[in-house]
Amino acid sequence: MKKFNPAKIIDHTNIKANASAKEIKKTCQEAKKYGFRGVCVNTRWTKLVSEELKKTKIKTVVLIDPPLGLSSHPKRVELSKQVKKDGADELDIVINVIDIKYERYNEVLEDLKEISKILPTKVIIGSGYLTNKEIEKASELVKKAGAFCVKTATEKDPLGHIELEEKARHLKIMKESAPGLKIKAAGKIRTFKDVQMMVKAGADIIGTSSSLEIMREYRRSH
pLDDT tens across the length of the chain (222 residues): 456 899 999 999 999 999 999 999 999 999 999 999 999 999 999 999 999 999 999 999 999 999 999 999 999 999 999 999 999 999 999 999 999 999 999 999 999 999 999 999 999 999 999 999 999 999 999 999 999 999 999 877 777 777 889 999 999 999 999 999 999 999 999 999 999 999 999 999 999 999 999 999 999 988
Residue 151 designated active-site: yes
Q: Are 143 and 53 in contact (CB under 8 A)?
A: no
pLDDT of res. 221 = 86
3-state DSSP percent of the chain in helix, strand and coil, to 5: 50, 15, 35
C-alpha R_g of the chain: 16
Q: Are 90 and 84 in contact (CB under 8 A)?
A: no
Enumerate the domain spans of the chain: 7-220
Q: Where are the strands (E) in 35-94, listed by range?
A: 38-42, 59-64, 90-94
pLDDT of res. 154 = 85
CB-neighbour burial class of residue 145 (10 A; exposed 0-12, middle 13-18, buried 19+): buried
Residue 184 designated active-site: yes
Residue 47 designated active-site: no
Q: Which CATH architecture fits 7-220?
A: Alpha-Beta Barrel (3.20)
Q: Tell me the pTM.
A: 0.96
- CA torsion 160-148-35-82 (nearest 10°) is -80
Residues making up the chain, counted from first to last = 222
Paired strand residues for 111: none
Catalytic residue among 92, 99, 157, 194: 92
Q: Are 58 and 39 in contact (CB under 8 A)?
A: yes
Catalytic residue among 137, 184, 188, 194: 184
Could you tell me which of 115, 8, 137, 20 has the C-alpha nearest to residue 69?
Answer: 115
Catalytic residue among 151, 175, 182, 188: 151
